[in-house]
Amino acid sequence: MSSKINFVLNILSRYKYLITIVVGVAVVGFIDDNSLMRRFKYDLQISELKDEIKAYNQKNEAIVRRLRAVQRNHKEIEKIARERYFMKADDEDIFVLSTDRQPGVDESAETNDYDETAQ
């Protein structure tokens, strides 16, 4: 029994630096709260958030440009009112074209192509 213990102690004393390095890399790379794995994960999240910030900044710039255009030009206000709210001038008529189905139409009657009296 003591020969096995001496053998293990001999291996540990011979490779003590290698064992220390392997354990240290395992702790720093995978086990610790500040591990390299988490750092890479956080770097990915940071890059995604930076992309989102860039997209929001672009949207903000477009909206600010539109707001400035509306503040400078009253024709823009009329354009927005006509497009979004279907407003019109006194001498105009508006026709709204829609592809939506009317609520009172029976869909089963439209799809029934065969003659029921033939049966």
Domain containing 1 equals 1-32
46/90 same-domain check? yes
Residues with Cβ within 8 Å of residue 94, at least 6 apart in sequence: 86, 88
Say if 108 falls within a structural domain. Answer: no
Residues 65 and 91 in one domain: yes
Looking at the structure, tell me whether residues 28 and 71 fall in a common domain: no
Q: Same domain, yes or no, for 27 and 56?
A: no
Q: Are residues 11 and 45 in the same domain?
A: no
Contact 88, 94 (CB under 8 A): yes
For the entire predicted model, the pTM comes to 0.49
What pLDDT, in 10s, does the model give residues 21-60? 998 888 887 887 778 888 899 999 999 999 999 999 999 9
CB 11 within 8 A of CB 3: no
* Whether residue 43 sits in one domain with residue 91: yes
Same domain, yes or no: 28 and 45:
no
